[in-house]
Chain A
Amino acid sequence: MEVTPYTFSGLGEVYSYTVIQSAPEGFESYAPYVVAIVKLDEGPMVTAQLTDVDPSEVEIGMRVEMVTRKLRAEGESGIIIYGYKFRPCLARSMAKS
């Protein structure tokens, strides 16, 4: 099977979402936090936290864009794990690619 690398635009919309009240170890400082299934403009879906947004403002269909953020700090030494999250689209990137 041939595997071809593909770069997504990072744009999509909220397909479903939830607000997690009780956080696991490593995520306590974020609670309550929003997790969404994001339908990317290219088709596939991805699960990620939403950031830079008030949970009460999230709705299905909301336009979002991918950003790099701290996911959690691990262990006593506090090594920071970075990863992707999504935030509401800023005006300049609202256009569907």
Chain B
Amino acid sequence: MRDVSIIGVGMTPVGEHYETSLRRLALQAVRAAFADSGTTGAAALFVGNALGGQLSKQEHLGALLADYAGMTGVEAARVDAGEASGGAALRQGYIAVASGAVDRAVVVGVEQVTDQTQETRLAAMLGLTDREHEGAQGVVPAAIGGLLMRRYLHEYGVALESFEGFSINAHANGARNPNAMYRNTLEPGHFARAPMVADPVNLFDIAPEGDGAAAVILAPTEYARDWVPLPVRIAGSALATDALPLHDRSSLLTLAAVKLAVGRALEQAGVGINDIDLIELHDAFTVLAALQLEMVGLAAPGEGWKLAAEGAISLDGRAPISTFGGLKSRGNPFGATGVYQAVEVALQVRGQAGANQVPGARRGLALNLGGAGATAAAHVLERLE
């Protein structure tokens, strides 16, 4: 296997892009990534997308977007792993370049979901759950978050307001990020009084659904420096799965796929979790953020929320997360999320995160989940010294 690096990154702001179609969002991100890399063209395009078939009524995104991006003729396909589609597409791009089958690959995550009524969008989102055993009962993704959080509060005897630190941190960071969907800050004390969405998950807990696209250009590390001064090495890449319906997990509060994927990615990188300077994790709900911190080994079971309460997750803390706002403030563009995370970690380790910079960051983890961890895609990205 060849060593692989990211030589270009690009993204659009996350938001309500009513005026911009799915294909135009993707094009903007791909063009920005090529411009960042100073290169043109690639041999393959991998598209991460979750809901295009249902909400844009558009399937077959590989050929469509390759042609639209001026890459007509290249190998191209869409990768679907629910909300982890972006991370899964990055994994496929990594494998393609690492194997030697492809010399340069583009990975784009794209989602266009807001140009719909909420009822239509929610109905499409039922397909992100086990449609026959969860979706058929009206179990929207927010309900998955609610079921997890209720059990967490019950088993560990934690109060709802203990989770506010995750949302306060996300919004503090997102407020500095021009690409974030909601740039307001959140004052302490307001979290626990927000209107309920899927009790105990409330409006200040759940990440907002947004449109957006992000892209990265991958190349063999051996040649990466010929093209760009600051390649970002993919030191570890892994993807693992778990039962899709929550009720079939061996333990509700154990995200087995996160343990597997992060374990493998760290092992490949030859580092431990304490060598990671920041994590872009999948904070679709605060309870998911707490559970991920527990699964990667930064907190004991039932204590992930303490890192937020203690301020350890802030930009200058010992375990910075959601450094550009995370899903909560930057926004949740479903199948594009995993590529946004990779772009954000790349900017951090390149030292180009601006007002969101984690001091001295040289290695970060991108952790993208589908559902509540039915898919977990983990990538360790580091500055190429």
Whether B139 lies near A47 (C-beta < 8 A) is: yes
Name the A residues within 8 Å of B71 (CB-CB): none
Whether B137 lies near A71 (C-beta < 8 A) is: yes
Whether B150 lies near A18 (C-beta < 8 A) is: yes
Whether B138 lies near A72 (C-beta < 8 A) is: yes
Q: How far is the CB of B371 from chain A (nearest CB, A)?
A: 13
Q: Is B134 an interface residue (CB 8 A)?
A: yes
Name the A residues within 8 Å of B138 (CB-CB): 20, 23-24, 26-27, 30, 33, 35, 49, 71-72
Q: Is A45 an interface residue (CB 8 A)?
A: yes
Name the B residues within 8 Å of A22 (CB-CB): 118, 122, 140, 142, 197
Q: Is B60 an interface residue (CB 8 A)?
A: no
Name the A residues within 8 Å of B150 (CB-CB): 16-18, 60
Interface core residue of A23, A26, A35 (most chain B CB under 10 Å): A35
Beyond A16-B150, A25-B122, whether A83 also contacts B136 by CB under 8 A is yes
Name the B residues within 8 Å of A30 (CB-CB): 138
Q: Is B35 an interface residue (CB 8 A)?
A: no
Interface of A is mostly: strand
9-residue interface stretch from B246-254, B270-278, B293-301: B246-254
Q: Is B364 an interface residue (CB 8 A)?
A: no
Q: Is B2 an interface residue (CB 8 A)?
A: no
Within 8 A of A (CB), among B169-220: 195-201
**Whose C-beta in chain B lies nearest to the C-beta of A85?**
B137
Name the A residues within 8 Å of B146 (CB-CB): 17-20, 35
Name the B residues within 8 Å of A26 (CB-CB): 123, 138
Name the A residues within 8 Å of B245 (CB-CB): 47
B-facing mask of A1-41, CB < 8 A → 1, else 0? 00000000000000111111111111110100101110000
Whether B247 lies near A17 (C-beta < 8 A) is: no
Q: How far apart are the CA atoms of A16 and B144 in the complex, in Å? A: 10
Q: How far apart are the CA atoms of A35 and B130 in the complex, in Å? A: 14
Q: How far is the CB of A8 from chain B (nearest CB, A)?
A: 13
Q: How far apart are the CA atoms of A33 and B126 in the complex, in Å? A: 15
Q: Is B58 an interface residue (CB 8 A)?
A: no
Q: How far apart are the CA atoms of A72 and B151 in the complex, in Å? A: 27
**Whose C-beta in chain A lies nearest to the C-beta of B249?**
A45
Q: Is A46 an interface residue (CB 8 A)?
A: yes
Q: Is A48 an interface residue (CB 8 A)?
A: yes
Name the B residues within 8 Å of A35 (CB-CB): 137-139, 143, 146-147
Whether A19 lies near B198 (C-beta < 8 A) is: yes
Whether A60 lies near B154 (C-beta < 8 A) is: yes
Name the A residues within 8 Å of B143 (CB-CB): 18, 20, 35
Q: How far apart are the CA atoms of A60 and B146 in the complex, in Å? A: 13
Whether B246 lies near A21 (C-beta < 8 A) is: no
**Whose C-beta in chain A lies nearest to the C-beta of B252?**
A16
Q: List 8 A-B contacts (CB under 8 A).
A: A16-B252, A20-B142, A21-B198, A22-B140, A22-B197, A35-B143, A37-B252, A49-B138
What 6 pairs between A and B have smallest CB-CB spacing? A18-B146, A24-B122, A45-B247, A24-B123, A16-B151, A25-B123
Q: What residues of chain A have their CB less than 8 Å away from a CB belonging to chain B?
A: 15-28, 30, 33, 35-37, 44-49, 55, 60, 71-72, 81, 83, 85
